[in-house]
Amino acid sequence: MIVAAGQFIVTPDWERNAESCVALMQEAAQHNAALLVLPEALLARADDDPDLSVKSAQTLDGGFLSLLRAESRRNAMTTVLTLHVPSSAGRAVNTLVALRGGEVIAHYEKLHLYDAFNIQESRLVDAGHQLPPLIEVEDLRVGLMTCYDLRFPELALALALQGAELLALPAAWVRGPLKEHHWSTLIAARALDTTCFMVASGECGSRNIGLSRIVDPLGVTLAGASDHQQVIYAEVNHEHLLQIRSKLPVLQNRRFAPPQLL
């Protein structure tokens, strides 16, 4: 099947951002993609207001997701992204949603909040308390992760041990010294840890690096984006995954008990 990762610059205007998401969904559907992964925190962003994503939070039945759900009804594709959903006064939950057929078929509240590199996501965002679900996309089981989750191998491994064969990762990877290196290295590492395909989408612009990637279970980059708006594509299949896992059976060879995350 064909998988895709789309990236764009998130603006302060949620309606404009929804239009950008719809355009990327249309493009991916025209390329017969079965799965499209979009970036993290797509409602709104501004360089001069780091709290705008939370201030702009919407419920899952709000206007932003309604526009995306309408587009989802026009194709057979599964689309994965995250947005901030209100939790209490002035606070929100960074929520991943998977759309198919115009409906939210799964959602996940981000476990690992980005309290690093002089940024404190937990100041206004509440962490989730449950492992992400697996979803079926054609003949592959897909595990769901969000951005900073990438730095925690036990989450990816827990998903793989539950049956994940592909990991979908919306992200807004902040620029900084060596951050591009961290991004590419960690995506390949999580693929190798789990022998899963990885589809990672990164928001681009002045704050975040873009550089979306699709990586195979041996850590090989099948498609990579630069730092501007685009959609990348790759073909993945279950047979190739089984061949790799037969040669590199790390999930079977483990000598430690499955990680207990929560």
- Identify the active-site residue in 109, 110, 121, 204: 110
Cα→Cα distances 137→19, 58, 76, 149, Å: 25, 27, 10, 21
Q: Is 147 among the catalytic positions?
A: yes
Q: Is 40 among the catalytic positions?
A: yes
CA 187 vs. chain centroid, Å, equals 12
- Identify the active-site residue in 21, 109, 121, 147: 147
Q: Return all residues near 226 (Cβ < 8 A) that are at least 6 apart.
A: 210, 211
Q: Rounded CA gap, 179 and 183, in Å?
A: 6
Residue type, 20: S
CB 193 within 8 A of CB 136: no
Q: Is 247 among the catalytic positions?
A: no
- Residues marked active site are found at 40, 110, 147
